[in-house]
Structure 1
């Protein structure tokens, strides 16, 4: 479990998201309505980087699987009018009814590469979007320095009981080993 306060200081994430935001700034300023940020973490990027570039009529629900980061986000960044945070496992097989066909736009930055069931993840995102609405995703498809150490640790008997590699790294990363 991450320490939300330490994660907020992750300038690499903010920089990468800012680059994507800047690339699509013209389109983003026209986005209004109900939005979701999947895997929002502690909420700083959602509030400080994403929300300011959207139309002033846009509202965002930031979602994350980790209860402690959602609690931190609500205490620190919730503004009641445009931004709130809720727990959601985007890989769930039973998507809550309150999310189905409710969103005009879904964002996800640096989160989906942690999803093992990527098919279920995208099915859920598709189900949450209203017809003809859009999503913007920034994800790590392959990064050896990120995933290889996790896989190695998961195979080491000292760490194996703490981590199952299939639940911490996406199927997108795996390649068949000969």
Structure 2
């Protein structure tokens, strides 16, 4: 007892700064892990929703894109889900039309790092074709996806050429 009295009394982990720091770090790690699991669940739920809409033929312009849809698309592709192609079409259309969360310039900028090159090429060509003013139903532009998948660089070059040709026609340098 005299030893404890000389050291200030019995050991109290609640008063030990090192123990408290370790416990706080453990809580922070658990919170980060919980947030990661919640994000994975959210992405999986959105991927399932998009796949369901695509499978039912209802993934169209009436469905607004949201932040995180790129991750849902990636999950579908990783799963080998054949509906990922329909999601690619839908994302490219939203990016080209600047609708949904792609109305935000920052979201469009971020898409460059988040979407595969063929989807970006498809979006660029769809946007360029829209700027030509040529009327076309969505079914008329089915070739855009095939072209973008086969040769994204050529698709992007064609989009750039169309933009330049439209600018020259309009008299803008």
Q: Given the two structures, how large is their TM-score scaled by the length of structure 2?
A: 0.30
Q: Highest relative contact order (Cα 8 Å, sep 6+), 1 or 2?
A: 1
Write 1 or 2 for the structure with the bigger share of strand.
Answer: 1
Q: Given the two structures, how large is their TM-score scaled by the length of structure 1?
A: 0.29
Larger radius of gyration: 2
Write 1 or 2 for the structure with the bigger share of helix.
Answer: 2
